Amino acid sequence: MATYLSTILFHKSPELFPRVIPEAIPQFVLVVFITTCLMPALSIFLLRSFSYISNLELTKRKERIRPFIFIAFYYAASSYLFADKLQMGPVFMTVMISVSTLIALLLVITAWFKISIHASAVWSGLGFICALIVTMGVDIGWYFYAVIIAAGLTSTSRLYLGYHQPKEVWSGALLGFAYSYLTIIVFF
């Protein structure tokens, strides 16, 4: 979601990223992809290869803890990289830090309740976009509707595939949206 959100916002609202020159956007999105998608996915694959988890879907609640520790670490490291080394704008930094915090919160929740991380992630992206529209007048055009459809399809797929119960999907969706929306509203 970080890669999708960065790509959409770079394309439609580049003013939110004052330090990134237009020519560097593809490289910057690649760095976001590597640190927030590729490295976590590789970690999950390695955990499966060494039998720390039984499957890549992470269907067992107890097996989700270790991968989420890795994912939280990658997001926290990414936030540090973007804040300290690249000195990105306040909007991007707020999003990255709040996503890191949300992942840590989901890690704690997962210890007691199997919440849908997919639903939380995609609805979190929608929460950020909605809050940016409200607070800064960001216009992302038809992408807004695409993100709503993606959120609905992602949540529905978790139910259809039998990975989650409705309360797990709804909990993830509500937490992700509310947390992200309120983060932007409070800080901007």
8 A C-beta contact, residue 140 and residue 13:
yes
Q: How far apart are alpha carbons 127 and 180 in whole angstroms?
A: 5
Q: What is the pLDDT of residue 49?
A: 94
Q: What is the pTM of this model?
A: 0.89
Query: Mind listing the pLDDT tens digit of every residue in the chain (188 residues)?
Result: 889 898 998 888 888 887 778 888 888 889 889 999 999 999 999 999 999 998 888 878 888 888 989 999 998 988 888 777 667 778 888 998 999 999 999 999 998 999 999 999 999 999 999 999 999 999 999 999 999 999 999 999 999 999 899 999 999 999 999 999 999 999 98
Which residues, in sequence order, are CB contacts of 12 under 8 Å at separation 6+?
Answer: 138, 139, 140, 141, 143
* Residue 67 backbone dihedrals phi, psi, to 5 degrees: -60, -35
Q: What is the pLDDT of residue 27?
A: 87
User: How many domains, in total, are found in the chain?
Assistant: 1
Which residue segment(s) compose the domain that 166 sits in?
2-187
